[in-house]
Chains A and B, each alone.
Chain A
Amino acid sequence: MKTLSLIEKAFFLKKISLFNVLDLDLLIAIAEKMHQDEYPSNEKVFEKGQLANRMYFIIDGEIDLLDENNMPIATCSKTDFFGEESLFSDKPRSYNAVCKIDTAFLTLTKTNLMTIISECPTVAIALLQCHCQNVTCRFQNEHPV
C-alpha cells in the first residue's frame, strides 16, 4: 500500500468515529502525528502482556483480537480502531492482535492521544461511546451466554 500523504491521512481520519466531528485544521494536525505501518497476514501486531504505548486505526485489512487461548474476541476492519484500552488503564495488553490479512494502519501514541483529548474533548466522548459498545460486545463474545 502506498504511503498516505498528510491530506490523505486527514481524509481517512474523518471516517473514524473518534474524529468525524473535527474540522480539517484539527484533522491535519492530528494526521501529522500519525505513523503509517503495514503488517503481513498472520503477523502479530501485539500480544497479551506487552507494554502498551499506542493505538491503531485500520486503513485497510482485518485484525483478529484474540484471547490468551487464541480464541477470537472480535474482528476489526477498515476504519476500526483497537489497542486503546491499555493506554487508559496503564496495564499491559489484555489480548493478542493478529493480522487476518495484509493490513495497513495508522498508529497514534499515548502522549499524542492525551494531548488531542485535552484540545478536543469531543474525542474523549466519542472514545467513551465506542469503548462502551466494544466492552459489551467483547465481553459477550468472551463469555457467550
Chain B
Amino acid sequence: MITNLRRVVRNAFGIYPGESRNAFRFIRLAFIIAFATSIADTMSIGLFLEHVGADKLPITYAVSAFTMFVFFSLFLYFLRIFSSYKILLNVMLIATCCYAFFAFVIQAHPPNWLFLALQIFTIGYIASITASFWTFFDTYHDLQDAKRIYAVYNAAYFLGYVISGILINLLIDKLGTFTLFALIPAALMLAIFEARSIVNKVPVIEEDITESFLYSGKKSLFTIIKLFATSPYAIVLVSMCFIVQTLRNSTEFSYMETFQKIFVPHISSPDAVSQNTIVEFLAKCKAYIAGGNIIIGMFFYRRMVRKINLGNMIILTPIYFLMVYFEWVTYDSLFVAILAVVAIEGVLCSVSDNNYNLLINAAPTKLRGILRITNDFFFEPTGMLFSSAFLMLFKSQSRWFGLCLAIIFLTIALILKNIYPKAIFISLQQNALHFERKVFDWFSKLNKKEQKEIKQDIIEALDSKDEEKQLMAIESLLSFNDPYDLSKAIYYINKFADHKKIQILSLLEKSPLSSDSKIIEMIDSWLDEASSEDLIKHANLYLAKKGFLHPQKVMNDLDSDDLYARGSAIITLKKSLANSSLVNAALNKTIAAKETELLLKFEDEDEICMGLEILSEDKGAGAIETILKFLMHSSLKIKKMAAKSLSMIATKFDSRYAPKIIEELNQSSDSEVRLHCLTALGKMADSTTVKEIILAGSLFRPNERRLTETIIMQMGLKTVPILLSITKDVTLHERSRILAGKILGKLSIAQLKANLSDIISEEIQRAYFYFYYGNTIQKNYPSLDLSLLQNGLVSNFQSVIDFIIHLVGAAGPIEDVDLIVRTLRGKNEKAHAHAIETLEKNCDEKIFLEIAPLIEDTPKEHKLDVFLKIHEEKSKLSLEEILNKLESSPSFLDKIIAAHLKAKLHMPHWKQSLREQIKTSDESFHHFAYELLE
C-alpha cells in the first residue's frame, strides 16, 4: 500500500525510484529560500509604496540596475574562486545579517530613504539568490533532469511564496513588521543547513567540458563579450531576457499605478481598515497565483514540454502578454491589473522561468556557466535601467510601451524557437573531435587574420632549434598549397641539415606541390651541393619518380650495389621525360621491367619493397597481378608496401581483382594495409563488391569506416538497393548494418526514411527484450549461474541500441551520429542529456517516445517498470522460453549462448534441438555444436 502510494507520488512529481530523498532535499531548500525571499520581496515593495510611493519606482529601478552591475563584477570574481555552494552560502549569510538589521531598524520609525534602500537591496538580493540558487542546482542536474524536475522545484519555490503570502495576509497586523522581517534571517539560516546537507549527501554531476568559462584562468569582461559574439543563440536568449525584464518593470509599474489609484484613497480615508492594504492585497494575489504556479509546476509543465515541445512553450508567455496589453491600452481596471500581476507572478514565473532553465542548456558550453549570472546581473539590470529611463520620461505611456515590448518579445521568442534545435546540437558538437579533417581543412576554416597569425607561428617554429617542430612547421606550411608559402618553405628547407632534408623529401612527395618547378630546382641543386650520400640517393629517387633524370646518366646504376641507386635507375628508365625516341623508350621500359622482376625475386624485404614501389609507378593489369601476390606475403612490411602500391595504381578497369583485395581486407589486422586496400577498392568502384566490403567493415576502426563510407558513396545510387537490404538483414553484424544504414542515409535519405519505421520497430522490441531479461534473469533464478546469459543479453541490448541510434541519426539531419552514440554510452551525464535532447529534436516523435525510456539516464527500476507496462505478457517468460527464443534468433551470439546454457543446465531434449539447429546453421556453428555434443 505504502509502496504504491510512493509510486503514485513519484509518478505525479516525475521523480525516479531511488531519487526521492535527494529530490526532496532540493525541494525543501527551494521552499525555504522562497519563503524568506517572498517575505522580503512583499514587505519591501509594500513598505516602499506606502512610505516612498510608486512614482519613485523608476528611479529605484535605475539605482538597482547600477547596484546589480557592481554585484555582477563581484559575482564573476567570486565564481572563479568559490564553488556555487560557497557563493549561495555567502549570499544567504549576507542577506541574513542585512534583514536582521532592517528588522530592528524598522522598529524605530526610520526615515523614508531607508525604505528606498531596503527596496534596492531586496532587488539585488533576489537577483543574487536566484542566480546562485539555480547555479547551485545546475551542479547536481543535467538537461533531462531539468526538464523533468526543475518545474517541481519551482513549484516548491512557489509553495514558499504561497505560505509566506498567507502569513502576511492573515497575520501582518498580529505579528507586525518586526516579526515578519525576523522570519527572513531565521528561514535563511535553515536554508544554509539544508544546502550543507545537499553538499554532503548528493553527488555532483560530472561536467568535464574544458572550455567552461568558470574553469579557472584569467578572464575579463572583454572575454565574455567575445564569447557572446560567437553565439547567435546566446545573443537571442539574453535579448529575450532583456526584453522580459523591461516588460516586467513596465508592467509592474503600470499595475502599481492602477493599485495606487484604487487603494490609496481608501487608505487615506478615516474608514481605512489597515495601513498595509496594498501589501495585503498584493500578498493575497501572489499567494493565489503561486498556488496556481505550484499546480502548473508539479503536474502540467513537465507534461506540456513533452506534449507541445519547448519550442512552442517559448511563445506562450509573449502571447499572454500581448493579450493583456491589447486590453490594457484601451481600458484600465482592477481586473486587467490583476491579469498583469498574473503575467508577472504567474506566467513569467511558472512558464517563462522554467523555459529559461531549459533554454540555457543549449547555449555554448563556454558560456553556459556564466549565462545565468550575466543575465541576472547584467542584461536584466540593463533592461531595468532602460525601462526606468523610459518610465521616468514617459510615465503616462507605460501601457503602450508594454504593448511594444510584448510584440518584440513575441518576435524574439519565435526566432529562439527556430534556432533552439540547432543550438542544442552545436552545443553537443563542441565535444566532437574532428579526426576526419586534414591540416588544410583546419586552415581553410580560419579567417584571413587567423591564417596570418598561424603562418607567423609556423615561421617562428621554423626558426626554432627543435628539429621535430621544424619538420611539422614545413608540413603545415606546405598544406596551405600557396606558392608564396612554398618559396618561404624552400628558404628554410635549404638551411636544414642533410639528414633532415631526407625527411623533408617524404613530406614533399605527399604534397600536392610535389612537382612544382621550385621544388624540383631545389632538389636538383642538392645533387650538386650535398655532402651526404644518403641525401643524394633519396633526391635521385625523388627526381626519378617525377621523370627528371636522364636514362643515359643512370644506366650504370642498374648494376649498383646500392638499392636506392638501382631503384632510381629503373624508375628513370620507365618514366624519364627525356626518352628520346619511341624505340629507346620501349627498350628502356623492357629493361626496367626485367630489373623490377629481378628485385621482386630477392628474399630481402627491402629489395622486394623497392620492386613494389617501382611497380606503383606502373600502370596496367600486369603490375596489379604481381603486386597482389605480395599482398598475401607473411612480412607486414612487404604487405604494407604492396597495399600502398595497389592503392596508387588501381583503376576502375581492375575490378576483377577486387575479391582478392577484399579477402585481404578480411584477414589483415593492420590498419595501414586495410586503408590502402580500401583506397584501391574505391578506385575500382565496383558496386557488386559493396556487400563484401561492408561485411568486412564490422571489424574496422573509425578512420577505416569513414573511408569505407566515402568510397561507397562515390559508387553512387546504384548501391542503394544493396545497402537497404544489408540494413534490414538482422542476421548480419550490427556494425555492418550501421555502416550500410549511414551510407544509405547519405545517398538516399528518402529510401531510408521510408523503411525506417519497420526496421526500428523490430529493433526496439529486441532492445526491450534484451534489456529486461538481461537485468532480471539472474534475480529470477538465483540458484543458477546465468552470468553468461546475463552478459550476452546486456551486450546485445547495447548493440541494438547503437544500431537504432545510428539509424535514427542517419535518417535525420544529425551530422555526427557517432558522437551521439559515444555520448550516450559515456559517463558524462550532462553531455548524455544533450544527446537525448538532440535526438528528440531531430527524430520522428513516435520513434523517440519508444526509444526514450531505453536511452534516458534513469534508474534501472524505472526502465523495467516501463517494459512491464508495455510488454506485460512477455514478462512471464521462463528461462527455457528465453533460451528457445535466443535459439531461434538470427544472431549467432544468441544461438551460441542458448545452446551452451541448455547443455550446461541439461535441459530436456537439448541434444535433439541442437542437432536440428545444425541442419540450418552455417559451418562456424557446427564446430561449436559438435564440441557440445561430444
Same assembly: yes
A interface vs B, CB < 8 Å? Answer: 5-8, 10-11, 14-15, 20, 24-30, 32-39, 51, 53-54, 90, 107-112, 114-116, 118-119, 121
The reply on B110 being an interface residue by CB < 8 A is no
The 9 closest A-B pairs by CB, nearest first: A53-B208, A35-B210, A109-B208, A5-B457, A109-B210, A11-B469, A110-B208, A29-B435, A37-B217
Q: In the complex, which residue of chain B has the Cβ closest to the Cβ of A90?
A: B827
In the complex, A29→B439 CA distance in Å?
A: 9
Q: Which chain B residues border A33 with CB–CB below 8 Å?
A: 210, 433
Pick the most buried of B433, B434, B454: most chain A CB atoms within 10 A of its CB.
B433
In the assembled complex, the CB of A28 is this many whole angstroms from the nearest CB of chain B, namely 5
| B461 pairs with A30, CB closer than 8 A | no
Min distance, Cβ A107 to any Cβ of chain B, angstroms: 6
B134 at the interface (CB under 8 A from A): no
- Chain B proximity of A61: nearest CB distance (Å): 15
Minimum CB–CB distance for B856 against chain A, Å? 19
Find B461's partner among A11, A25, A39, A107 (CB 8 Å cutoff). Answer: A11
Q: Determine whether the beta carbon of A35 is less than 8 Å from that of B215.
A: yes
Considering the complex, give the chain A residue whose CB is closest to the CB of B431. Answer: A111
- CB–CB B476/A7 < 8 A: yes
When A24-B472, A35-B210, A54-B210 are in contact, do A115 and B217 touch as well, CB less than 8 Å? no
**Contact status B468-A30, CB under 8 Å:** no
- Residue from B434, B453, B703 within 8 A of A5 (CB atoms): B453
Which B residue's beta carbon lies closest to that of A110? B208
Closest to B825 in A: A114
Q: Which of B469-489 contact A (CB under 8 A)?
A: 469, 472-473, 475-476, 479
Contact B472 A119 (CB under 8 A): no
CA distance A29 to B441 in the complex (A): 11
Q: Is the CB of B826 within 8 A of A6?
A: no
Asked whether, in the complex, the Cβ of B472 is within 8 Å of the Cβ of A109, the reply is no
With a CB–CB cut-off of 8 A, which chain B residues contact A10? Answer: 472
A109 to B437, CA, bound (A): 20
Q: Are B439 and A28 in contact (CB under 8 A)?
A: yes
User: How far apart sit A119 and B473, CA to CA, in the bound complex (Å)?
Assistant: 24
Residues on B with C-beta less than 8 A from A107 are: 210
Within 8 A of A (CB), among B180-224: 204, 206-211, 215-218
Q: Is the CB of A26 within 8 A of B435?
A: yes
| Set A28, A114, A118, A119: member contacting B442, Cβ < 8 A | A28
Q: Chain B, 830-864, contact with A by CB distance < 8 Å: what is the 0/1 string?
A: 01000000000000000000000000000000000
A5-B454, A24-B472 are contacts. A114–B206 as well, Cβ < 8 Å? no
Asked whether B822 is an interface residue with its Cβ less than 8 Å from the other chain, the reply is: yes
A37 touches B826 (CB 8 A): no
B448 on interface, CB distance cutoff 8 Å: no
Instruction: Determine the distance from Cα of A90 to Cα of B828 in the docked complex, in whole angstroms.
Output: 12
| Chain A nearest Cβ from B435, distance in angstroms | 5
Docked-complex contact B473 and A11, CB < 8 angstroms: yes
Q: Which residues of A contact B433 (CB under 8 A)?
A: 29-30, 32-33, 112, 115-116, 119
Residues in A neighbouring B469, C-beta threshold 8 A? 11, 14-15
A residues less than 8 Å from B716 (CB atoms): none
A35 close to B473 (CB less than 8 A): no
**Other-chain residue from A7, A25, A27, A28 in contact with B457 (beta carbon distance below 8 A):** A7
* A7 & B458 in contact (Cβ 8 Å cutoff): yes
Given A24-B475, A35-B215, A54-B210, A111–B434 Cβ distance below 8 Å? no
- Residues of chain B lying within 8 A (CB to CB) of residue A15: 466, 468-469
- Distance between B255 CB and nearest chain A CB, rounded to angstroms: 47
The answer to whether A29 and B207 touch (CB under 8 A), given A24-B475, A115-B822, A119-B703, is: no
Complex CA–CA separation, A144 to B823 (angstroms): 43
Chain B residues closer than 8 Å to A54, beta-carbon distance:
208, 210
Is B226 positioned at the interface, with any CB of A under 8 Å from its CB?
Answer: no
> Contact at B431–A35, with CB atoms within 8 Å?
no
Contacts A6-B442, A7-B476 known; 16 new A-B pairs at CB < 8 A: A5-B453, A7-B458, A11-B461, A11-B469, A11-B473, A26-B435, A32-B442, A33-B210, A33-B433, A51-B206, A54-B210, A90-B827, A109-B210, A111-B831, A119-B433, A119-B703
In angstroms, Cα B822 to Cα A25, docked, is 22
Neighbouring A residues of B442 by C-beta, 8 Å: 6, 28, 32
